Amino acid sequence: MNNLHAAAKRCLDASDPAEKLRLTHTTWSAFQAGELQADATSPAAEPIGVPGRPDRPHLVPQRQVPHRGLGSAEGRAALVHAVAHIEFNAINLAWDAVYRFRGMPADYYRDWASCANDEARHFALLAERLGELGHTYGDFDAHNGLWEMAEKTAHHDTARMALVPRVLEARGLDVTPGMIERLRAVGDERTIAILEIILREEVAHVAAGSRWFRWCCERDGLDSRETFLDLLRDYMGRNLRGPFNRPARLEAGFDDDELDQLTALALAS
């Protein structure tokens, strides 16, 4: 099999985390070696559905996910679990971007296959840390917000690039420094080291979203700034949250005017 879209679908459909990670790393290696290519003539993507994932964690509305303090190992495990759940979803999001959207430049597929490989590595680090804290992935309830946005944007690459990497995943750039400070206060240097790796590498993932969102706008003759704001209003309503990590977001492809507009929208929400 040399069809990248089909290989991405296999990764996307794998429900066992260990198998998803294995397939992801194997697929990325094969892509790097030139053994897999995107084929615009391959069968159209199937309608988006539930991705491959284990029976647990139990998914609940976001407001029902409990917030725990970091003073106990249980509280720190819950935080690590929440980030691990985001990273597991991010593997699926990256592979769906490869699988679903056809006829894109080769660098688009390279960016998102590389992103999937990074997210799988992040998940493995967090799963190991969960084990050190006496837990496994699935032990805590989680929410499905990231994938719900993937479903809402499955019809158009522009909306997907704008809203998943540049809004939902970019939120990690905003909140991770605060997590690190809270963990530093309780002396959890092991978790801090993992979060610092993730924060550094997630900048590049959000930057890929910025790059391909603007490419889609240029392709379609759209003003990228106006389009981004329109999509935020259409899909996020009054749910945009700040404050924003300006240095990280600038590095990830936002500009100062854009961030000023985001701040104003968040304050109005």
Confidence at residue 31, expressed as pLDDT on a 0 to 100 scale = 97
pLDDT above 80 for 227: yes
Give the pair of three-digit tokens for residue 263.
């701040």
CATH number of the domain enclosing 188 = 1.20.1260.10
Q: Name the residue among 201, 190, 212 with its Cα closest to residue 251.
A: 201
Distance between CA atoms of residues 97 and 174, nearest Å = 23
pLDDT above 80 for 66: no
In a domain, 192, yes or no: yes
Reported pTM: 0.96
In a domain, 235, yes or no: yes
In a domain, 57, yes or no: no
- Reported as a single tens digit per residue, the pLDDT across 123-180 is 999 999 999 999 999 999 999 989 999 999 999 999 999 999 999 999 999 999 999 9
Q: With H, G, I as helix, E, B as strand and everything else as coil, classify residue 155.
A: coil
pLDDT above 70 for 244: yes
Distance between CA atoms of residues 258 and 166, nearest Å = 12
In a domain, 11, yes or no: yes
Q: Output the average pLDDT for the chain.
A: 94
In a domain, 51, yes or no: no
Which is more confident, 72 or 156?
A: 156
Distance between CA atoms of residues 222 and 231, nearest Å = 12
- CA neighbours closer than 13 Å in the CB half-sphere of residue 241: 9
The domain of 17 spans: 4-34+63-268
In a domain, 143, yes or no: yes
Share of the chain above pLDDT 70, in %: 99
Report the domain count for the chain. 1
In a domain, 141, yes or no: yes
Confidence at residue 238, expressed as pLDDT on a 0 to 100 scale = 67
In a domain, 48, yes or no: no
pLDDT above 90 for 236: no
